[in-house]
């Protein structure tokens, strides 16, 4: 029995020895491999250090740049706003659309109004300087001198006409130009404490587009359009249309409201029919500011002619009629 137990212990020891030898062999193999891997990792870290440091610096620089760029956003937005204002003034990026539905029936109301001009920023304002020729003092005191209107333009409506004086004893308005009203005094001084009253035929190259637009929703699309009135002292007076008045009876009181004005206003008039007895269309515009103009801009060519369909003159001293 004793011999059997001794033999069992001998067999167990042999088995443990056989099993331990492979384990020790594996450990002996893995130990240098692990050391080699650790050395390699250390070498990689030492090599990567000089490479990653510039990358870290680049990331920090980019982060600072982006932070500064975000800080510039308000300034960029403000600059974009100024650009749009200037572009709006000189390029008129929102023109009224000349609708092909001009013949459609208007709504029952005959007056379209805008509560107030839309505010915007003009280039530096300039004060109309007195001139030695072509000017007049509209007030009785004679203390202020204003330059007379020479040109009227509504870029959004493709209107651009020279402004001239009416011929003596005018029987029919001239063609290819606009004229200023003279009733006791001249109503053609932008900036003066009174109305500037300009009128022209509702014809192509004159005030035709005013009539066209007035037939669409009572001319509501014209509200807010800019009107430029140039004067002979090389100034450009900017107005904004605030009211469209249709079907004004051709009575002696047709301009009473304009003539009673005591502040700077602009009134434009054209006919709604072919005869002198037709009703009138009036537009009212309020001043926004004044900008400088060139000599050429403020002194357009006078293309005035007697209209081919004007009535025949019945007296030698009549104007605007055919002889």
Instruction: Give residue 79's pLDDT.
Output: 58
Integer-rounded Cα Rg, in Å, for the chain is 43
What CATH number is given to the structural domain containing 246? 2.40.260.10
What is the Cα 40 distance to its own chain's centre?
68
Q: Are residues 137 and 43 in the same domain?
A: no
> Cβ(199)–Cβ(270) under 8 Å?
yes
Whether residue 305 lies inside any domain: the answer is no
Same-domain pairing of 80 and 120: no
Asked, for residue 86, whether it belongs to a domain, the answer is yes
| 313 lies in some domain | no
Query: Contact 297/236 with Cβ under 8 angstroms?
Result: yes
Same domain, 124 and 74: no
pLDDT of 107 reads 37
Geometric angle at alpha carbon 276, from 274 and 281, rounded to 5°: 75
- 86 and 118 both lie in a single domain: no
- Within a domain: 261: yes
Task: Answer whether residue 291 is part of any domain.
Answer: yes
Q: How far apart are CA 203 and CA 270, in angstroms?
A: 9
Question: 315 — phi, psi (to 5°)?
Answer: -150, 150
Could you tell me which residue, 82 or 182, shows the higher pLDDT?
182
135 and 82 within one domain: no
Which of 228, 211, 95 lies closest to 160, judged by CA? 228
pLDDT single digits (tens) 18-27: 444 554 554 4
Q: Is the pLDDT of residue 127 over 50?
A: no
pLDDT computed for residue 320 by the predictor: 93
Domain containing 281 equals 111-298
Based on the fold, state whether residues 275 and 205 are members of the same structural domain.
yes
Structural domains of the chain, count: 2
Q: How many C-beta atoms surround the C-beta of residue 243 within 10 A?
A: 17
pTM value?
Answer: 0.62
Residue 158 lies in a domain: yes
Residues 6 or more apart in contact with residue 274 via CB below 8 angstroms: none
Q: Are residues 10 and 76 in the same domain?
A: yes
Tell me: do 64 and 145 sit in the same domain: no
315, part of any domain: no
């Amino acid at each position: 029995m004793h011999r059997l137990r001794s033999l069992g212990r001998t067999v167990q020891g042999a088995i443990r020895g056989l099993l331990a030898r492979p384990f020790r062999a594996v450990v002996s193999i893995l130990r240098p491999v692990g050391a080699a891997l650790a050395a390699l990792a250390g070498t990689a870290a030492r090599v990567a250090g000089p490479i990653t440091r510039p990358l870290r610096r680049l990331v920090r620089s980019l982060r600072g740049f982006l932070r500064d760029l975000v800080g510039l956003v308000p300034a960029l937005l403000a600059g974009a706003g100024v650009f749009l204002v200037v572009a709006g003034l000189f390029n008129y990026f929102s023109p009224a659309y000349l609708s092909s539905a001009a013949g459609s029936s208007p709504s029952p109301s005959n007056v379209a109004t805008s509560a107030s001009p839309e505010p915007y920023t003009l280039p530096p304002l300039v004060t109309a300087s007195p001139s030695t020729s072509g000017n007049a003092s509209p007030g009785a005191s004679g203390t202020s001198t204003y330059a007379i209107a020479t040109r009227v333009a509504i870029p959004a409506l493709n209107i651009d006409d020279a402004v001239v004086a009416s011929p003596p004893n005018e029987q029919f308005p001239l063609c290819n130009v606009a004229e200023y009203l003279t009733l006791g005094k001249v109503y053609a001084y932008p900036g003066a404490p009174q109305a500037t009253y300009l009128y022209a035929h509702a014809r192509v190259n004159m005030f035709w587009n005013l009539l066209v637009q007035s037939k669409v929703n009572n001319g509501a699309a014209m509200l807010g359009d800019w009107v430029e009135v140039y004067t002979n002292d090389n100034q450009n007076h900017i107005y904004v249309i605030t009211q469209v008045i249709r079907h004004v009876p051709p009575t002696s009181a047709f301009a009473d409201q304009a003539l009673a004005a005591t502040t700077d206003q602009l009134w434009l008039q054209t006919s709604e029919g072919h005869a002198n007895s037709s009703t009138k269309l009036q537009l009212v515009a309020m001043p926004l500011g004044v900008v400088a103009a060139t000599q050429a801009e403020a002194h357009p060519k006078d293309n005035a002619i007697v209209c081919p369909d004007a009535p025949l003159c019945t007296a030698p001293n009549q104007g605007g009629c055919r002889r």
